[in-house]
């Protein structure tokens, strides 16, 4: 419409109007193009990080190939820290722990065995494996979920509004032109005069500057967001965001930090500082474990009870023992310390009837609150028997510092919030409660492909 108006202006010798309309069109295009190109460049840089070398069996030899060139039926090696480049089936596994937070929202890593499937987008937390590639790219579980979101050209609210306004004003102009032309023709006016008047009405009726003004205003908003490290890919999406009345949010890494941390300690035979020191001794040689990392981090933050010690013997946790055990000399006394699954540690300890009842109640309460729990015990000497029960550590993925404030802000501004998480119901319920969400606002064990259907 604007191009038509520009050339009609030129035909009627309105040269200034011709150049002015073209300038507005060009200015609008340049602003939009530069801003969206900047965002696209930022996204392309992020995409470059998705290409990484993968060890693949080709022609009977293990060679490194860019992940982009992985194909179905390739056999690949996976080691600690590797991103899984495709949907694969495990052929061989050695103490393999896979973190699937990007897919399921579960912060804790999952143990995988021969025959298990592992999906693209997850990563190897520890251990190693040989795997058979089943699906790549858009055929993968994650790829299909991403494509389902990318499908289709989205028309924003502001684009619809501009089109509606433009159509309305243009229709009014054309109707006005139609009736005036008929009236003036029968009144005997000169054709050139009628045409000039018609052209003026058409140009006046078309909102020449509206898209330019809105683009400039939106660009100012984008400029402020850029300072906060937000990449706005489509300018009109800001107007959509301003019209949001219902927000469906992920949990892990969005409302929480996506890292396991000690949330509470239930005392039995030890004070928290002593228990933390014992847990540190039983964990620091197994620092790859996400639970051990949480213990080490908490211990490093504490300045209390850092005694002289010497490690005499250490047995790491595995799927059979379900506990790690350390024998250490602490200030001329020898201790054996064990930390692991509560039901395993319970069998190593002496419990009175009252203590046993309290232990079972505490375990049930912690489980109901959606925490991961480890038990700690110790004994003087080198034999892992008749140990004293020290206490229970409760672990979870803590909230981000700004999460509560954001939820409060959204509610105060009339935006309803629902949390969609891949974690189990108990974890979702606890996190939702901490954020001030009701049970009706929490949806648990939701897979990525289902989130779009819910939207």
Q: What are phi and psi of 378, to 5 degrees?
A: -150, 160
Query: CA-CA distance, 374 to 390, in Å (whole number)?
Result: 11
Query: Which residue out of 116, 240, 250, 369 is catalytically annotated?
Result: 250
C-alpha distance from residue 239 to each of 25, 103, 152, 161 (Å): 21, 29, 19, 11
Q: Strand locations in 136-260, DSSP E?
A: 246-249
Other Cβ atoms less than 10 A from the Cβ of 155: the count is 11
> Which among 218, 183, 200, 207 has a CA at the least distance from the CA of 36?
218
Q: How far is CA 425 from the centre of its chain?
A: 19
Query: CA-CA distance, 204 to 5, in Å (whole number)?
Result: 10
- 3-state secondary structure (DSSP) of residue 38: helix
Query: CA-CA distance, 361 to 369, in Å (whole number)?
Result: 12
C-alpha distance from residue 111 to each of 2, 30, 93, 96, 128 (Å): 62, 52, 10, 6, 11
The sheet with strand 246-249 has its strands ordered as: 246-249, 416-420, 442-443
Q: Quick one: DSSP state of residue 313? A: E
> Which among 377, 375, 353 has a CA at the least distance from the CA of 366?
375
Number of residues that this document lists for the chain: 455
Which residues on neighbouring strands pair with residue 54, listed in sequence order?
Answer: 65
Other Cβ atoms less than 10 A from the Cβ of 377: the count is 29
The DSSP element (H or E) to which 370 belongs, if any, is none
Residue that the structure tokens 């055929």 belong to: 139
Q: Do the Cβ atoms of 359 and 403 come closer than 8 Å?
A: no
Q: Which two tokens stand for residue 442?
A: 């929490």
Is 193 catalytic? The answer is: no
- Residue 25 CB contacts under 8 Å (≥ 6 apart), including other chains: 2, 3, 6
The DSSP element (H or E) to which 77 belongs, if any, is strand 75-79
- 3-state secondary structure (DSSP) of residue 311: strand
Conformational region of residue 294, where left means phi above 0, alpha means psi within -120 to 50, and beta covers everything else = alpha
Residues designated as active site: 250
């Amino acid at each position: 419409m604007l191009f038509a108006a520009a050339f009609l202006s030129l035909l009627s010798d309105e040269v200034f109007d011709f150049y002015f309309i073209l300038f507005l069109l060009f200015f609008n295009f340049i602003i939009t193009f530069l801003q969206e190109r900047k965002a696209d460049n930022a996204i392309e840089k992020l995409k470059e990080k998705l290409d990484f070398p993968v060890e693949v069996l080709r022609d009977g030899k293990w060679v490194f190939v860019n992940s982009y060139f992985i194909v179905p039926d390739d056999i690949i090696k996976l080691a600690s820290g590797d991103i899984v480049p495709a949907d694969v089936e495990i052929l061989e596994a050695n103490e393999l722990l896979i973190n699937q937070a990007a897919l399921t929202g579960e912060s804790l890593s999952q143990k995988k065995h021969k025959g298990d499937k592992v999906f693209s987008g997850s990563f190897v937390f520890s251990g190693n494996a040989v795997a058979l590639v089943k699906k790549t790219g858009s055929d993968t579980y994650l790829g299909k979920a991403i494509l389902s979101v990318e499908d289709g050209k989205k028309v924003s609210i502001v684009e619809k509004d501009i089109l509606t306004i433009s159509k309305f004003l243009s229709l009014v102009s054309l109707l006005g032109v139609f009736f005036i032309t008929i009236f003036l023709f029968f009144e005997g006016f000169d054709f050139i005069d009628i045409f000039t008047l018609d052209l003026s009405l058409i140009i006046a009726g078309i909102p020449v500057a509206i898209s330019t003004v809105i683009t400039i205003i939106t660009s100012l908003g984008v400029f402020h967001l850029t300072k906060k490290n937000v990449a706005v890919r489509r300018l009109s999406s800001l107007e959509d965001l301003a019209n949001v009345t219902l927000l469906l949010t992920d949990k892990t890494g969005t409302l929480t930090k996506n890292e396991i941390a000690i949330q509470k300690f239930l005392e039995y035979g030890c004070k928290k500082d002593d228990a933390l020191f014992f847990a540190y001794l039983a964990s620091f040689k197994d620092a790859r474990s996400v639970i051990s990392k949480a213990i080490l981090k908490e211990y490093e933050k504490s300045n209390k009870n850092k005694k002289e010690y010497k490690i005499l013997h250490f047995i790491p946790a595995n799927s059979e023992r379900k506990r790690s055990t350390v024998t250490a000399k602490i200030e001329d006394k020898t201790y054996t310390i064990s930390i692991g699954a509560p039901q395993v540690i319970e069998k190593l300890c002496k419990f009175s009837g009252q203590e046993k009842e309290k232990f079972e109640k505490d375990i049930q309460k912690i489980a109901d609150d959606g925490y991961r729990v480890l038990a700690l015990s110790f004994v003087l000497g080198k034999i892992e028997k008749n140990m004293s029960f020290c206490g229970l550590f409760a672990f979870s993925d803590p909230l981000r510092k700004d999460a509560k404030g954001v939820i409060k802000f959204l509610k105060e501004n009339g935006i309803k919030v629902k949390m969609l998480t891949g974690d189990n119901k108990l974890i979702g319920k606890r996190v939702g409660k901490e954020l001030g969400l009701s049970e009706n606002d929490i949806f648990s064990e939701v897979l990525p492909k289902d989130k779009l259907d819910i939207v």
